Structure 1
């Protein structure tokens, strides 16, 4: 099981990407079985002052993709690419930090699917997303 090193790096997290950095996403925990990350609400708002639904999707895809990439690397030295994401937005946030937790629904040889639950600082569920990634061999 691959986890974050003390400096926060891991091969699946190398090159996390400029979008995730621009959104302020920080990875707290990462294994193929559980990926946790946070994102500030500030800077990720839509015109009505609410957390942008697209920002929630970016967080969900980032977390699920990290888990899928770690799974692909662990199983056959491969990589993963997203093929489908869907999200249900239950409520929104105006401030603070949101936390996403990605857990696998299926970890196979060609497909990895994750459920990502995003909550606010009070623990209220804001969004439930599902990400499916194709697992590719090198």
Structure 2
């Protein structure tokens, strides 16, 4: 992992340097909540990220230790992306962002069920998400 020069010692500033651009948390969201794990799957996200931006953000997330690349079991030309423990530790942040957004904006119908689950049992949702990701990681490395 590359050592990055920090703008300041402020934890918010440091965190934003790691994942605070327009796209990085959306990539983390897709790896976390939508179980996407290949470049092609990530490129097909609703937000329509440009391929050059996707490649740059994946590299940045990898350099920051938030994701890692694994060999794809079915193709040498593909890789799998997965969250590291550092990335998994962003689950509570993603949950809080969703809950904040629900409070201040209209949530699309297709997202309401997920946010409702988060609202009903935030700690349980976080715990289950962590367990699911860890189980998926074990399965991918077999």
Q: With a CA cutoff of 8 Å and minimum separation of 6, indicate the structure with the bigger relative contact order.
A: 1
Please indicate the TM-score interval, normalised by the length of the shorter structure. under 0.3
TM-score (norm 2): 0.24
Larger helix proportion, structure 1 or 2? 2
TM-score (norm 1): 0.25
- Rg larger in 1 or in 2? 2
Larger strand proportion, structure 1 or 2? 1
